[in-house]
Amino acid sequence: MSRGLDARLGTGTWDTAVAGLVAHAVVSRPTGGIRSRTEVVDVARRDALVATLREAAAGDASLDPRTAVLLSMTGPAQLLEVVAPERGSRRHARQRIDHALDRTELAAVGALVRRVIADAAAVAASTAVVAGAAAATSG
């Protein structure tokens, strides 16, 4: 799902993102095999970013484009509980996440990312159903 990133850079989306974070000393180099792990190195930067996202999700003020993009991607990344740790604030936060890019020049990007993620989820669900049916009929 790298959309050609692999061909252009020689690495996929995840590896490219992690390499950028490692280069900026935000996370450690990945360790392990297939399910590699990274550790947050710059905890203060992470905490500041989470605080910014929480403030953006809780507020009603307009967002700068960079914060709007990042906030909008917390939904597909299933980070609602991080952005809105208090249950009572999640409905408002969900609205902010879902509409962070509305009326911006990046609205089309947000819609595309959400569609790609929804398509990938649908494929995964279909694959699971087919695999389950095949397993049930084979033995």
How high is the pLDDT of residue 23? 92
Mean pLDDT, residues 60-73 taken together: 90
Mean pLDDT, residues 83-98 taken together: 95
Mean pLDDT, residues 75-87 taken together: 90
| 19 and 9 part of one domain | yes
| 29 and 55 part of one domain | no
How high is the pLDDT of residue 91? 96
Q: Do the beta carbons of residue 92 and residue 132 sit within 8 Å? A: no
| 51 and 16 part of one domain | no
- Residues 24, 77, 102, 118, Cα dihedral to 10°: 130
Query: Of 90, 59, 55, 60, which is closest to residue 75 (Cα–Cα)?
Result: 90
| 126 and 64 part of one domain | yes
Is the pLDDT score of 5 beyond 60?
A: no
Instruction: State percent of the chain over pLDDT 70.
Output: 93
| 23 and 55 part of one domain | no
Q: Do the beta carbons of residue 100 and residue 66 sit within 8 Å? A: no
How high is the pLDDT of residue 136? 80
pTM of the predicted structure, to 2 decimals: 0.69
| 61 and 105 part of one domain | yes
Mean pLDDT, residues 8-37 taken together: 82
| 32 and 51 part of one domain | no
Domain count for the chain = 2
| 21 and 88 part of one domain | no
Q: Report the chain's mean pLDDT, rounded to a whole number.
A: 85
Phi, then psi, of 33 in degrees rounded to 5: -100, -115
> Residue 109: helix, strand or coil by DSSP?
helix
Cα distance between residue 111 and residue 108, in whole Å:
5
Print the domain residue range for 10. Answer: 1-41
121-130 CB burial, b ≥16 within 10 A, e <16: eeeeeeeeee
Q: Which two tokens stand for residue 16?
A: 């490219």
| 92 and 133 part of one domain | yes
| Residues paired with residue 40 on neighbouring β-strands, in sequence order | 27
Cα distance between residue 36 and residue 98, in whole Å:
30
Tell me the per-residue pLDDT of 108-133, one tens digit each, with 9 for 90 and over.
Answer: 888 887 788 778 878 888 888 888 88
